[in-house]
């Protein structure tokens, strides 16, 4: 075996794993280096992490989604480049999460050159391993959407909760850097949410006297998700009493918020999600640890937590967290019809290259561009340093954006519906319709 790469000595991989972990012959071959140094590096990490997960064995996966594409520093870039230099190739269909760079528009924003260069290097490294350059935090909106019962290794919190809950695929909440190891080996720890017995509901959250008009509104779901995440933490919540069947985008907003304010990786909605046809099936016949009623007062309080600035000043409307879907583009185009954006307020929409291509083909992109919207592709404002100091207050319809913006971006945030966001962009100041939230 060649132990030299471009004149550099290859690393020696040390690995220790629990004696209780049973490896197949092929697992052992990968660990011993029979299938190459990149596979050996990936498997050495995987078997040590299997011990952390208390797994007795590994299982086959048939897809992966890599969250460690986001550039957060040179170490992550060097990790990806080392795997690529060693000849790493993914062995299952593998999608890529948002990157740290909009390759075609980054120079329109104050993104440092060094950041752009390193983020681009990291993108190239993951692409070279055979991963599909989807560059989206919402891979379930692509042709690579998994199916019920499929064993996958997905990173990115909102993607994980959507796959587990709405689709019924099976993934643990994989951390950065481990997800690519699973993709390279085609294996994952047989633990956590991969296993049926660990997918039972743990706490019951009962919606009480929530108006049907509010339940049908898009703005309801990020607020409910924010509240559920706080109540559930890392437990599996079962939601009872929802009188409507949420759309895919409403599930997306709910799951993203619950995985942000808490660590929700799987939720059940009784009579709605695939593993919760009844209350009993959601809990797999077990008794809930505890039960909590959710009232309008609770939801109103949760909604207020998503806003840090109750003034009227506004600098930017930020949409697309998780990435905008085609339906969201369609809804937004209808809302801006016959209106003009106030030049004092920017509107920024985030999605991935494939969704933008579809939006262009349907005429949505051009209509929004004429309105004055700008587009950030393949990344988002949480993943790339694109906002200058002149942007002080943002408005969004995303519970995830609203939660992260004060801490990650140091900006003020206003939460509202998509209709509120459009009205605010048109008026040049914050407009927030509270009529649906009155008790």
The C-alpha atoms of residue 230 and residue 180 are separated, in whole angstroms, by 30
Compute the distance between CA of residue 410 and CA of residue 393 in angstroms, rounded to an integer: 10
Tens of pLDDT along the chain (439 residues) come to 334 444 443 445 555 555 589 999 999 999 999 999 999 999 999 999 999 999 999 999 999 999 999 999 999 999 999 999 999 999 999 999 999 999 989 999 999 999 999 999 999 999 999 999 999 999 999 999 999 999 999 999 999 999 999 999 999 999 889 999 999 999 999 999 999 999 999 999 999 999 999 999 999 999 999 999 999 999 999 999 999 999 999 999 999 999 999 999 999 999 999 999 999 999 999 999 999 999 999 999 999 999 999 889 999 999 999 999 999 999 999 999 999 999 999 999 999 999 999 999 999 999 999 999 999 999 999 999 999 999 999 999 999 999 999 999 999 999 999 999 999 999 999 999 999 998 8
Show me where the domains of the chain are located: 4-156+169-186, 200-305, 316-432
Q: In what helix (H) or strand (E) does residue 205 lie, and over which residues does it extend?
A: strand 203-207
Assign a CATH topology to domain 316-432.
Answer: Aconitase; domain 3 (3.30.499)
Q: What is the spatial distance between Cα 182 and Cα 88, in angstroms, rounded to a whole number?
A: 12
Question: Exposed, middle or buried: residue 171 (CB in 10 Å: 0-12, 13-18, 19+)?
Answer: buried
Closest CA to 203 of 164, 175, 231, 172: 231
């Amino acid at each position: 075996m060649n132990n030299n790469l471009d004149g550099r000595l290859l690393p020696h991989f040390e690995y220790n794993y629990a004696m209780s972990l049973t490896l197949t012959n092929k697992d052992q071959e990968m660990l011993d280096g029979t299938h190459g140094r990149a596979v050996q590096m990936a498997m050495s990490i995987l078997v040590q992490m299997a011990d952390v997960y208390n797994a007795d064995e590994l299982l086959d996966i048939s897809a992966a989604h890599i969250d460690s594409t986001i550039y957060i520093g040179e170490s992550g870039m060097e990790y990806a480049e080392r795997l690529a230099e060693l000849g790493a190739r993914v062995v299952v269909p593998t999608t890529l999460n948002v990157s740290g760079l909009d390759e075609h528009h980054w120079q329109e924003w104050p993104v440092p050159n060094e950041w752009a260069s390193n983020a681009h290097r990291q993108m190239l490294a993951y692409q070279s391993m055979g991963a599909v350059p989807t560059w989206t935090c919402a891979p379930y909106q692509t042709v690579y959407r998994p199916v019920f019962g499929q064993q996958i290794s997905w990173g990115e919190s909102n993607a994980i909760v959507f796959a587990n809950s709405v689709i019924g695929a099976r993934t643990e909440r994989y951390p950065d850097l481990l997800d690519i190891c699973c993709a390279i080996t085609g294996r994952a720890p047989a633990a956590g949410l991969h296993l049926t017995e660990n997918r039972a509901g743990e706490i019951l959250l009962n919606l009480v006297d929530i108006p049907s008009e509010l339940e049908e509104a898009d703005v309801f779901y990020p607020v409910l998700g924010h509240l559920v995440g706080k109540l559930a933490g890392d437990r599996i919540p079962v939601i009872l009493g929802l009188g409507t069947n949420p759309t895919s985008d409403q599930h997306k907003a709910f799951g993203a918020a619950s995985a942000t304010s808490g660590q929700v990786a799987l939720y059940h909605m009784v009579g709605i999600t695939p593993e919760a046809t009844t209350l009993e099936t959601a809990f797999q016949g077990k008794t809930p640890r505890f039960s909590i009623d959710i009232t309008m007062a609770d939801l109103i309080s949760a909604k207020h937590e998503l806003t840090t600035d109750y003034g009227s000043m506004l600098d930017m409307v930020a949409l697309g967290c998780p990435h905008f879907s085609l339906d969201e583009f369609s809804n937004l185009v209808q809302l801006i019809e016959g209106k003009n954006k106030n030049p004092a307020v920017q509107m920024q929409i985030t999605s991935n290259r494939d969704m933008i291509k579809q939006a262009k083909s349907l005429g949505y992109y051009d209509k929004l561009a004429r309105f004055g919207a700008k587009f950030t592709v393949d990344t988002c404002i949480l993943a790339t340093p694109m906002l200058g100091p002149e942007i002080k207050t943002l408005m969004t319809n995303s519970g995830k954006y609203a939660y992260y913006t004060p801490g990650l971006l140091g900006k003020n945030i206003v939460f509202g519906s998509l209709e509120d966001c459009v009205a605010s962009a048109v008026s040049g100041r914050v407009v927030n319709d509270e009529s649906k939230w009155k008790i």
